[in-house]
Structure 1
C-alpha cells in the first residue's frame, strides 16, 4: 500500500534559479479549480531543482499546456559532467488558458529511493524560439512505511518474547565467541612457538661463543714462559707467540752489571779489562735471566772469566 505526497510550487524544498515569476495563479473555469503557479518566459538558463525529501517509487510533474510555445528539458539523477536531458513537449494549440494543470512528465522506479530532478526551459523552434515554462507541483508516490520495514527485516529491531532469556534470544553472540576463540588459539600458539625459537637461538649463540672464546693469558703465564729457552730461541711449540718489540728492545739497550767479582779468581797483573764492545754488544750477550755458566743446583758458582782473562 502506498500514498501520494504533493510538493507545491512554493514549497521550500524547490530550488529556483533567477528569472521565475513565483507569485502567479491559475483559474481553470472549465472545472472550477484555482491554484498557485510558477512560470517564466526566459528561455536561457531558467531552471528548478527538486530533490526527493523521502524515498519514492514514482514521480510526477504537473504544469500548464501552452498554446504558443512550450519546450522543456528534464534530467533525473544527472551526471554533473555529462548531463543527458529529455525533452518535454508542453504545447497545446487549442488551449485557451482556462484548463487546469496536467501531468507533463512521470517516471517510475524499481525500488524506493531518493532522486534529483532538474527542470529547464529552452527555446521552442516551432514558435520562433518562444517558450513559456510553468510549474504547478511535484507529486511523489511513497510506499507504506510498514511495507518497507517488512521488506527489509534486517534493519528492524528484533522483537523478543517476554519469557525468553537473553542467552536463548541472541544466539549470534555465542557463535561470535566461538569464531573468536577459533582464531585466538592459533594466534597464541604461534606467539609461544616464536618465543621458544628465539630462546633456542640465543642459547646456541651463547654456547658457541663460550666454546670458541680465545683463552686469555695472564701475567703469571707469560712470566713462566719467559723462563724457558723457547721464549728467546726458536721452538716448534711457541712459534706463534709474539711479544711487544718495545719490551725486548728496551731490555737489550739497558746496561747490565757484570756481577760480583769473586776473590778466589786469580787475576794476572798484566791482564787488561775487556773492551767496550765485548761488554755492551747485544748480539754477544744472552738474557740475564738465563746465564749459561750458572746451573740450577749451584747458585753460588762464580761466573766465567771474560775471554781476555783466559
Structure 2
C-alpha cells in the first residue's frame, strides 16, 4: 500500500475492476509500479502480485485500475483465495498523483469489494501508508521483516546434515509434484506460501532469474524432506533465501539450518555481496536462528486489516 490522501474528489476519476488485464493494461501497471519503486525504494506490489498481472483470469483475483481522464494513476489487486482469512490487497498510487485522495478512493473500493473484510499490505511501512490505513479504519496486525547479512564476512559455518540426508538440485518437471506437496505441508500455517499451485510454480520457472542449480532438495532414501530455493537479484547485488521449508516430520533435526547454509554458500559463490530473506516478526524462533547466522533487520512490511 503506497499513497497519500487528502480526501479531495476528482470528477474525472474512475475505478474499474477486471478479472484479467489486457497486455496493454498489464504493461501500464508495470510501468506505474516501476515509477513507484524508483521513488519509494521498494516494490509496492509483491512478486506474486506482479506475476498475476499477466495471463488469463485467476480464480479469486481482481484488478482495480484508477484513472484520471485517460491516465492510469492507481492500481490495486484483491485476492480472495484463503478459505479462512479475509481477502488480501495491495495498492499503489503513482508518485506524481499522490495527495489528491486517490488512495482513499481506491481503498474504499477495496473495502466495498471485500465486504469490509480486508487485509492490506504496506510495503516498507511508509508514514503515508500508515495514515491511509488510519483513514480507512484499518489496524496493523502483521509485521514482515526483511533481514540482510553480508556474504563476505563473517565467514559462513559448515553445514551439518542429519544422518542419511543428501542434497541435490531441483529438476524441473521431475520434482514439481513432490515439491508442491512438501511446500504445502511445510507452510500449512502460512497460506500465502502453502497454497502455491502448479501454475504458480510454472510462473516462477518461466522468470529470467530462475536457476534450478540454486534450488536445493534434501532427501533421505528418495523421500523429500526439505528444500532451499535461492534467488539472485542481479541488479541489486542481492541473493535471497527465497523459500526454505522442512517437512513436519523432519523439523527440529537441524535440517533447516543446514539447508540455509548450503544456499548461502551457493549465493556467495555466485559473487553477490549480500543475502536477504523475509520472516514474520512474531516467528521468534526463526528470527533468532537468522540473527545467529548474522542477519539483521533491514526494513519491514506491515499488513493492516479491517476489524469486523
The verdict on a shared fold, with TM-score over 0.5 as the criterion, is no
Structure index of larger Rg: 1
Q: Per chain length, whose mean CA-contact separation is higher, i.e. which structure has more relative contact order (CA < 8 Å, sep 6+)?
A: 2
Please indicate the TM-score interval, normalised by the length of the shorter structure: under 0.3
When the two structures are superposed, what TM-score results if normalisation uses the length of structure 1? 0.18
